[in-house]
Amino acid sequence: KAGVTQTPRYLIKTRGQQVTLSCSPISGHRSVSWYQQTPGQGLQFLFEYFSETQRNKGNFPGRFSGRQFSNSRSEMNVSTLELGDSALYLCASSYALLWQEAFFGQGTRLTVV
Amino acid sequence: GDSVTQMEGPVTLSEEAFLTINCTYTATGYPSLFWYVQYPGEGLQLLLKATKADDKGSNKGFEATYRKETTSFHLEKGSVQVSDSAVYFCALESPGSGYALNFGKGTSLLVTP
């Protein structure tokens, strides 16, 4: 079956702009999580959605937001981009049962200039 | 709060050498423990997991045992191959974490012929 699909794969934006990233989970998966990966901070949890509801949020400013649609597809938005937002953004989907495997997409590489 | 500490890399080994990557954790309650692997340009893939004390996870020749008394989940492989070159992440998920994975910083492994 198809894996987790993230689009676009690469993105270059200017400081102050906003950006929207998309994630299509594996069919049947209802939980979608987002992570930010940077060389300095490593992998950090952004938020998790299940059935269109945000159930958990990491320690990120309000400029980072997300949503999930009825078909489980998810988007995350970053407004007023800063240079420090440059990172690989990874989406993961799962059946949302405890301790089940999370399947990751290849990520979107965001560069803010 | 919950945290994962893993050994700093990079680790460079010759093919067929023995591999150990140390991982220790701090968590409330009884977390599940995971090892994920990230190949260049890819997202993360689950390598193995353990959900309770003394469980041993294994996959593709890699093993890790959940040691509650030492709060450790060290990754081992008896004979590494060049194709094992990747970044390895130790992670935990606590029952109260809201399905958020808490990752270590990652350990880069390079296996030379």
DSSP-assigned letters across all residues of A43-67: EEEEEEEETTEEEEE-S--TTEEEE
Q: Are B51 and A99 in contact (CB under 8 A)?
A: yes
Residue A98's pLDDT band (boundaries 50, 70, 90)?
low
Helix (H, G, I), strand (E, B) or coil at B57: strand
pLDDT at A2 exceeding the cut of 80: no
Q: Does the pLDDT at position A97 exceed 80? A: no
**Which of B32, B39, B66, B99 would best serve as a mutation to test chain A binding (most A beta carbons within 10 A)?**
B99
End-to-end Cα spacing for chain A: 37
Quote the DSSP letter at residue B84. Answer: G
Amino acid sitting at position A2: A
- B98: chain A residues, CB-CB within 8 Å: 48, 55-56
Binned at pLDDT 50, 70 and 90, residue A102 comes out as confident
Per-residue pLDDT averaged across A17-25, rounded?
A: 98
The residue-averaged pLDDT of A58-75 equals 96
Instruction: Give the gap in angstroms from C-alpha A21 to the nearest C-alpha of chain B.
Output: 15
Distance CA(B20)–CA(B4), nearest Å, equals 16
Question: A86, A14 in Cβ contact below 8 A?
Answer: no
CB contact under 8 A, A33 and B100: yes
Contact criterion met (CB below 8 Å) for B110 and B17: no
pLDDT(A96) > 80: no
- Measured between CB atoms, which of A31, A90, A99 is closest to B44? A90
B contact set with A (CB within 8 A): 32, 36, 41-46, 49, 51, 89, 93, 95, 97-106
| Inter-chain touch A101–B51, beta carbons under 8 Å | no
The predicted-structure confidence for B28-87, as pLDDT tens digits, reads as follows: 888 999 999 999 888 899 999 999 999 999 999 999 999 999 999 999 999 999 999 999
Give yes or no for residue A1 having a pLDDT over 90: no
Contact predicate B49/B93, CB 8 Å: no
Dist. CA A41–CA A54, nearest whole Å: 23
